[in-house]
Structure 1
């Protein structure tokens, strides 16, 4: 069966998910990669938009509006004793030598660059990537260095973005495989409850398709920039229910006469 047709049927049919336990492991692994690819598209889209629209604005803001600053010995030093926030449409730049602005605060602002006390952070689509100043070792960076760096980045972002996308895909795929493996372990308890004869290989294949509904749902929510309360628990609960229904669709062993 076509892998995209499998994705469609996995949205509503535990019976088909149960049948997929017989297919080759290679196709199931490919399906997990497909799900991961779909799930990261909104994140990467928000990230790339933030980069493309933000670099030019960041250069102008840093050059003309931010106070002089420098990063020395892994910490931010400025001429001001309070956080400074500058907004341009949907983009913000924050410089905070006090440590009062957290990464969570930055995420709430939408698309933003943050020169925080101990790290540099980029917020896009409600997610934050941070980079510690400690990675600079004993190097000192001043305001003009960042202006020069952003100017260079603006011309190289079409090279950098595919690299970033591959990195996000790699990390997200690893997390998805771990999620499927843990769900398959939960499936052992579910199949014992239902008295089904299924091995871990069968359950892993079924678990890979059981996460489809929750993955697509949270992908849509990410595209809409909507935070789902208790999303972690909802994700696992929905996936476990689908797997349980799929396990019930497998034949029970016949009782001895």
Structure 2
């Protein structure tokens, strides 16, 4: 059966998930990689567009709208007497050498770059990253140095972005395999409760398909940029429930005749 057909059936049919337990482990591993790939597409899109737009906006603003500055001894220095807040095409840039703005203030934005008193903050699709100036205590950095660095970074984007997405994909795949393996152990507990004749291999394969509904749901929410409260709890509850329903479709172990 085609993997995309399996994905579709796994969304609504515990009976088909139960049937998949007989297929080879290699095909199941391939399915997990496919499911993981589909699940990171929204994040990959938003991360890429946000990063590219952020680099372009920052480069233009450094030349036209931000004052000259230096980063020295772990601090940002400029002639600005108050924070500068700029919104451009859905991207926010905050420049603050006064120390009034905190990293938590920058984190509130969907996509933003904050050059703060003691650190730089990059927010892409609500995911913040921090870069402390104290990492370079003996180096003096000027706005011209930053502009040169951004131009270099722009030229490396065709390499940097695919490499970053590959790392994200590998990390997401590893997390997915670990989650499925844990869910399969829950399957062994359910096996005893339901009196089903299943091995760990079977519960692992069924678990790989049982996480489909939850994964697709959160992928859609990510595409809509909607935050779901208690997401980990919902994911595990739905996955265990689907696995339970699938295991109920497996014939019970026949009692041995005395």
TM-score, normalised with respect to structure 1: 0.89
Pairs aligned (count)? 256
User: In structure 2, do the counterparts of structure 1 residues 131 and 173 end up closer, same or farther at CA, with 3 Å as the change threshold?
Assistant: farther
Partners of 2:214 and 2:100 in 1: CA distance: 37
What SS class does the counterpart of residue 228 from structure 2 fall into? coil
What SS class does the counterpart of residue 120 from structure 1 fall into? strand
What SS class does the counterpart of residue 148 from structure 2 fall into? helix
Highest Rg: 1 or 2?
A: 2
CA contact under 8 A between 2:121 and 2:128: conserved in structure 1? yes
1:148 to 2:148 alignment? yes
TM-score, normalised with respect to structure 2: 0.89
1:102 alignment counterpart: 103
Provide the alpha-carbon RMSD of the alignment.
Answer: 2.2
2:23 alignment counterpart: 23
Q: Deviations over 1:13-46 (max 9, x none)?
A: 1111111122111111111111111111111101
What SS class does the counterpart of residue 246 from structure 1 fall into? helix
CA contact under 8 A between 1:107 and 1:124: conserved in structure 2? no
CA contact under 8 A between 1:126 and 1:225: conserved in structure 2? no
- Which segment drifts farther, 17-26 or 77-86? 77-86
1:50 to 2:50 alignment? yes
User: In structure 2, do the counterparts of structure 1 residues 243 and 76 end up closer, same or farther at CA, with 3 Å as the change threshold?
Assistant: farther
- Which segment drifts farther, 58-67 or 131-140? 131-140
Partners of 2:240 and 2:100 in 1: CA distance: 41
Partners of 1:240 and 1:82 in 2: CA distance: 53
What SS class does the counterpart of residue 232 from structure 1 fall into? helix
Deviation at 1:69, TM superposition (A): 3.5
Deviation at 1:66, TM superposition (A): 2.6
Deviation at 1:99, TM superposition (A): 7.6
What SS class does the counterpart of residue 92 from structure 1 fall into? strand
User: In structure 2, do the counterparts of structure 1 residues 53 and 202 end up closer, same or farther at CA, with 3 Å as the change threshold?
Assistant: same
What SS class does the counterpart of residue 70 from structure 2 fall into? strand
Deviation at 1:226, TM superposition (A): 0.6
CA contact under 8 A between 1:95 and 1:114: conserved in structure 2? yes
Partners of 1:192 and 1:119 in 2: CA distance: 54
2:246 alignment counterpart: 246
2:193 alignment counterpart: 193
Runs of 5+ in structure 1 lacking a partner?
none
Partners of 1:192 and 1:106 in 2: CA distance: 51
1:181 alignment counterpart: 181
Partners of 1:122 and 1:160 in 2: CA distance: 16
CA contact under 8 A between 2:103 and 2:121: conserved in structure 1? no
